[in-house]
C-alpha cells in the first residue's frame, strides 16, 4: 500500500480473506457468511482461470502496480468513504442452547439480526429449520451427551471459525410438587437437563471461548434462584446451582478475558414451559387467578422472551465489556428479589 498509494487512498483491511490449508482445501474469511461467500466465489473463479490458463500456456498474475490499481479503484474507495453502519455482532459467533423455542429462539433471532453467526442447539428434531438463514447452523443435540456436545462445537468451529459468545438457556420445568411428594425421576431429569447439561456445554466451550473475540457467557437463570417458590424444588434448586456455576466460572475465566453474567427472568409466558396447566397450578400456589399471576410484578408489565433476549444480547455486547459476575433480574420488579 505504502509503495503505491496516492493521497486520496484509504487503506483496505489488510487481514487475509482466503487461507490455503495444506491437504484439506481452503477457507474463506469475512465479517459474515455473505462476505465469506463472495470470497469463496472469487477463489473458485480464480482457481478455474488458473487451471484453464495452464492448459493453454501458463498463468501469470498482474504486476504489483496493476494489482493495486484494481484493488483501489475509485468506486471501491468511494464505498469506503461512504461506509455503512456496522451491525453490533458482525463477525461474532454465538452458540445458543435451547434455540428452537421460547427465550432461546428469541436470543438466536436477536443475535442473527445483529449480524452474528449463530449455532443453535436443541433436542428438538426440527432445530435445523428454526431459521432460514445461512448465518444459522441449527443442530438437534442432546446436551446431556458430552460427545454430541463436543461434536456440535467442533462443527461450529469448522463452519464459522470458532466461538465468541455462549448463551446457556436450555432447560425444563418439572411438574410442581412439594418436597414430600417429589418424583425421583422428575428430580433426576431436572438435574440432568437444568444443571449437568449446562455444565457440560460450558466446559466444552471454554477452549473455544478463550480464543474468542471479546468472549462472553450469558446464563439464562430464573427468579427462582434468588427467590424460590413452594412446590418448585426440582426446578429452583437446579437454577440456584447453575447460577453458582456461572459465578464460579466468572472467577475462573476472568484471567482469560471471558465475561460470565446471568439474567434471571420471571413470568415469561410466551414460552413452551408455560402451558395452561402449569399456569393454573402456579397461580393456585400463590392464591391468585391466572390473570393476577401473569401481572404480579411491581410494574404490572408483561415480560416476553424478546425482552429477555435484548438483555442477553446487551450483556454479551460491547457496552458491558467491563462487567462480569453480574446477575440481572428481568421480571418487572419483585419485592422478594429487591
DSSP, residue by residue, 200-253: HHHHHHHHHHTTSSS-EEEEE--TTTTS--TTBHHHHHHHHHHHHHHHHHHHHH
Residue 80 is predicted with a pLDDT of 65
What's the residue count for the chain? 338
Q: Residue 294: what pLDDT?
A: 86
Kind and range of the H or E element at 140? strand 136-140
SS3 of residue 254 by DSSP: helix
pTM of the full predicted structure? 0.87
Neighbouring C-beta atoms of residue 223, cutoff 10 Å: 22
Q: For residue 22, how many other CB atoms are within 10 A of its CB?
A: 5
Q: Grid coordinates representing 11?
A: 487503506
Angle at 148 between CA 144 and CA 151, to 5 degrees: 145
Per-residue pLDDT of the chain (338 residues; tens, 9 = 90+): 899 988 888 888 888 889 998 998 898 988 888 888 888 998 899 889 889 989 998 888 889 999 888 888 887 777 766 766 678 999 999 999 999 999 999 999 999 999 999 999 999 999 999 999 999 999 999 999 999 999 999 999 999 999 999 999 999 989 889 999 999 999 999 999 999 999 999 999 999 999 999 999 999 999 999 999 899 999 999 999 999 999 999 999 999 999 999 999 998 988 876 788 888 888 888 899 988 888 889 999 989 999 999 999 999 999 999 999 999 999 999 998 88
The alpha carbon torsion through 285, 288, 291, 297 (nearest 10 deg) reads -90
Residue 13 DSSP SS3: coil
Task: Report the pLDDT value the prediction gives residue 296, as an integer from 0 to 100.
Answer: 86
Give residue 83's pLDDT: 62
Count Cβ neighbours within 10 Å for each residue of 95-104 and write b for 16 or more, e otherwise.
bbbbbbbbbb
Residue 86's CB is within 10 A of a number of other CB atoms, namely: 10
Cα–Cα distance measured from residue 275 to residue 277, given in angstroms and rounded to the nearest whole number: 5
Let me know: does 222 contact 266? Beta carbons within 8 Å.
yes
Residues 6+ positions from 225 with CB-CB distance below 8 Å: 236, 239, 240, 243, 264
Amino acid at each position: 500500500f505504502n509503495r503505491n498509494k496516492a493521497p486520496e487512498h484509504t487503506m483496505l483491511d489488510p487481514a487475509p480473506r482466503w487461507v490455503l490449508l495444506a491437504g484439506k482445501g481452503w477457507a474463506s474469511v469475512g465479517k459474515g457468511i455473505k462476505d465469506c461467500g463472495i470470497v469463496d466465489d472469487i477463489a473458485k473463479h480464480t482457481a478455474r482461470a488458473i487451471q484453464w490458463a495452464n492448459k493453454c500456456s501458463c498463468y501469470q498474475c498482474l504486476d504489483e502496480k496493476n494489482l493495486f490499481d484494481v484493488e483501489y479503484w475509485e468506486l471501491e474507495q468511494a464505498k469506503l468513504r461512504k461506509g455503512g453502519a456496522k451491525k453490533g455482532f458482525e463477525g461474532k459467533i454465538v452458540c445458543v442452547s435451547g434455540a428452537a423455542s421460547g427465550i432461546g429462539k428469541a436470543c438466536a433471532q436477536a443475535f442473527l439480526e445483529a449480524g452474528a453467526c449463530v449455532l443453535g442447539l436443541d433436542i428438538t428434531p426440527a432445530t435445523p429449520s428454526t431459521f432460514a438463514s445461512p448465518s444459522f447452523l441449527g443442530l438437534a443435540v442432546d446436551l446431556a451427551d458430552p460427545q454430541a456436545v463436543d461434536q456440535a462445537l467442533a462443527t461450529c468451529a469448522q463452519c464459522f471459525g470458532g466461538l465468541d459468545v455462549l448463551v446457556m438457556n436450555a432447560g425444563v420445568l418439572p411438574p410442581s410438587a412439594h418436597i414430600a411428594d417429589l418424583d425421583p425421576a422428575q428430580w433426576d431429569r431436572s438435574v440432568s437437563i437444568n444443571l449437568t447439561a449446562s455444565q457440560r456445554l460450558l466446559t466444552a466451550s471454554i477452549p473455544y471461548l478463550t480464543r474468542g473475540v471479546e468472549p462472553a457467557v450469558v446464563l439464562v437463570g430464573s427468579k427462582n434462584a434468588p427467590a424460590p417458590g413452594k412446590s418448585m424444588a426440582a426446578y429452583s434448586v437446579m437454577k440456584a446451582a447453575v447460577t453458582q456455576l456461572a459465578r464460579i466460572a466468572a472467577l475462573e475465566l476472568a484471567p482469560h478475558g471471558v465475561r460470565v453474567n446471568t439474567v434471571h427472568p420471571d413470568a415469561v409466558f410466551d414460552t413452551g414451559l408455560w402451558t395452561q396447566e402449569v399456569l393454573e397450578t402456579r397461580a393456585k400456589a400463590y392464591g391468585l387467578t391466572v390473570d393476577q399471576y401473569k401481572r404480579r410484578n411491581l410494574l404490572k408489565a408483561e415480560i416476553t422472551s424478546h425482552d429477555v433476549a435484548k438483555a442477553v444480547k446487551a450483556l454479551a455486547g460491547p457496552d458491558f465489556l467491563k462487567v462480569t459476575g453480574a446477575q440481572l433480574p428481568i421480571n418487572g420488579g419483585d419485592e422478594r428479589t429487591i
